[in-house]
Structure 1
């Protein structure tokens, strides 16, 4: 259920960093219990491991080198992280960062309790930096840190169970153990994070909280770089600073990807903007023509949206747009092309279904938007115009299809709004 308030929210800095507006106060009780349980478990296991595990001189050296490199790189890369947070849409989803490089390298080269201590230091540094910048949400940073600590301890338990010592000197079994540890680290990390996020956010579907392919790929790349760093630590300590160059290159590549993605994404809704959607729609039309499939354009427009902006303010209007975009995306297939046309207008391209099936999809979208509930008795309806191109000798053209769908939309508006009309 969407929640829209007439009152303007406080700024992020005030909301996140003053006791009165501390966001943990608004978290559902089951979520608070889960967050606290994860954090206490991480601390308890770490303390127990620190008491039980012995550290050799070589391991102390590796831990010192990793700490120096990790903290130094975190400070040097702080500007890149600020840019990525600014550019990345959908910031509530699972986010990847460079901590995995150093955390996983520590898992493979030092006792797991001290690997968890390294993670705690890095997230403590991150929390201090966010306090200084007055950005972010403190309880999320703490929970994320506890999650990575548990991930490191779980992966470290697998490494230790295999026989202890340096797993990278373990002969033929070493690659299997390393890959297994990587899988355990990833599964525990994402599993605990997603559970906490679902309890806090209560999304309509789990899919809404899953990381996108770029974020997941970036996380795997950082873990792979962690393996390379561990190899340097064990076999050629003098070359370990090379890991900084590799980490910087990976970080820079992720920033370039964020810049590319932000240039193609509408910032208010997280949907593809018009140029990006047009490119996708033209590819869908060409594919449909080659395979003899019907293709349909839906032109969706929120009814009386200007009244929402006038009565409730543009901030509320923007949140309504985001809620509608999420609703439309949830109702469509994963590969259906949806984008923001402009203002309160959305466009959808449907392929591999008949015109009658597309009409049913349009009706379902209209009904789903009408069912959204907001505070202050605010309701939203949507009119939809649709235009289909049947397979034939003539290739479909995007602009004429959009024009026909636009005419059908105007007919839906003239017939009383909150309905679907086909060209």
Structure 2
């Protein structure tokens, strides 16, 4: 290709005055076009994620049709020099893009001129129809050369590139087809009227402006849609999340826990339910104020997120009450997790403020203490455990059973774990609630 371009450049000396006028008109039109649309084209190029399509094929295909080979080469070189400040690409990419356009232009020129079918005034209907067919084939050749070269390089650089990404979108190729059609008409017009490029430069600039504004509107709409999707996701999350603890709220807990229970029922796997209640939480609010109580709730939420597995579900069920649903977890493993959670809550240290905005540090009841810190040992939890056997119990029944075990833990001194149906510390059987028993509330 380089040798062919150099060979054609050596024939520039035999160019006629009319051909120089055509060349000058094309050069002037290219310069005016690319200078005016520079900022818009730079923006479109930066937003493009795949092959980039512009309107310069209007000028290069017209040059291949209306100019001698040497002047067609000079037209491509000049256009790329004017375009370089817009492209802002690595040198090797710019050189390849230039070679790609030059190859398409030279092959189109050769297909048209070396076959002796260059356009001109014939006055014969059949000859003109034949010229139309030849120009269509030349335009297809121009497009094919660029697609083959560009696709080959993209596939080498990134083998995972999909075919649709190699040739561009449907709208991109429709734009390129329109551009080549206009370029073919301009080439025929320039052959008989050298001022043709000057007549077309303003319409091309206006089309470029329309493309720029269309791409800006599309980008704006895409940003709005992305923001809307993000807002929807955030609203969905907020609707299921307790803002105080970062855990699920009652709505989210019921929804996600039901999904886990149904999945484990289908798979025939057990589900363990923990009912957690902070001991004497009302005393914390009454003694140090609600900000202190809120700080304790937030820390409990953090501990539950830290101690539980990714597939488990934890939620705040109102006040100081929490419910945890452990997926695919037998009773023995559920008891171990409950003990781990209880010990972590009992070892908490919460920096907060009291009613008078003085800094205080509330401690878990499992931490070592002395006379000075005894009054601040205020945090512990009682936990009830129940297992939902696949195909036997419902999730609501398991929650009620865990509640009953929780009450047993509170009646036996708090800060401990009890299992529904059995006292793991004393071997005493605990009463199981009836399935139709109303839900109860806790405050102590």
Q: TM-score by structure 1 length?
A: 0.49
CA radius of gyration, larger in: 2
Q: TM-score by structure 2 length?
A: 0.47
Compare the two structures and name the one with the higher helix fraction. Answer: 1
Bigger relative CO (Cα 8 Å, ≥ 6 apart): 1
